[in-house]
């Protein structure tokens, strides 16, 4: 598949690119194409350093989204609406994956959902008809995902209203050795799942934990 990772120059974007590049065409998106191209080159070098190859290229966000089968929004909540405005003209029934979490930090991290109840539901309202949203990957430790460490194991809670789209994301998740996909129900469940991210960050901060994630036993 053609997978566009918008805002893909950060750690979580890198983790997805490294893990999927062996099986799919990865398009790193950024506001500036040259920044995405530099990131894509560094990801290819990282794979080469481990004796692996991958199809990873860099583009601006709109170009990365053209013809993509799946688009992942690895951007902060405050930038989501702007990114969608840019790519909306080239959207055509793609699957949009949202790991986006709305939160603020004062003394502690706090979940601050939009009026729709979750960012995933907010995003769905911004998209043209025929484009579906799947919420996933909110509780992954990006540093561990980038490391390609086979001993790292965690669970991914995946929710969405369109059965086919959710199954595509479940299958993509299952391709990553360190992740186990779990069906978490309809898109409305994103309200609970998104709130787990600030909880994990607070646990890390208060207990000196590095890269916490979730494993369901």
Which phi-psi region, left, alpha or beta, contains residue 206 (left: φ > 0; alpha: ψ -120 to 50)? Answer: alpha
Report residue 41: phi and psi, to 5°.
-65, -40
Per-residue pLDDT of the chain (217 residues; tens, 9 = 90+): 999 999 999 889 999 999 999 999 999 999 999 999 999 999 999 999 989 989 999 999 999 999 999 999 999 999 999 999 999 999 988 999 999 999 999 999 999 999 999 999 999 999 998 899 999 999 998 877 887 777 788 999 999 999 999 999 999 999 998 899 999 999 999 999 999 999 999 999 999 998 899 999 9
Residues β-bridged to residue 132: 95
Q: Which residues have C-beta within 8 Å of that of residue 172, sequence separation ≥ 6?
A: 3, 20, 70
CA distances to 26, 48, 105, 131, 150 from 69, rounded to whole Å, are 11, 26, 34, 11, 27
Classify residue 50 as left (phi > 0), alpha (psi -120 to 50) or beta: alpha
- Please state the pTM of the whole predicted model: 0.95
Domains of the chain (ranges, CATH numbers): 2-207 (3.40.50.720)
Residue among 138, 185, 179 at smallest CA distance from 160: 185
């Amino acid at each position: 598949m053609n997978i566009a990772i918008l805002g893909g120059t950060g750690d979580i974007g890198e983790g997805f690119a490294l893990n999927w590049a062996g099986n799919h065409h990865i398009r790193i998106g950024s506001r500036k194409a040259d920044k995405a191209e530099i990131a894509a080159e560094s990801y290819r070098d990282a794979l080469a350093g481990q004796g692996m190859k991958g199809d990873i290229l860099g583009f601006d966000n709109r170009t990365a989204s053209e013809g993509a089968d799946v688009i992942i929004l690895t951007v902060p909540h405050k930038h989501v609406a702007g990114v969608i405005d840019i790519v909306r003209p080239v959207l055509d029934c793609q699957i949009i994956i949202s790991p986006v979490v709305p939160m603020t930090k004062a003394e502690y991290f706090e979940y601050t959902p939009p009026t729709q109840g979750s960012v995933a539901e907010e995003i769905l309202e911004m998209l043209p008809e025929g484009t579906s949203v799947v919420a996933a990957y909110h509780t992954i430790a990006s540093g561990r995902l980038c490391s390609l460490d086979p001993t790292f194991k965690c669970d991914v809670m995946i929710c969405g209203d369109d059965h086919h789209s959710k199954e595509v994301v479940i299958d993509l998740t299952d391709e990553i050795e360190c992740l186990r996909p779990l069906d978490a129900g309809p898109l409305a469940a994103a309200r609970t799942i998104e709130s787990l991210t600030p909880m994990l960050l607070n646990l890390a901060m208060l207990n000196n934990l590095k890269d916490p994630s979730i494993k369901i036993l």
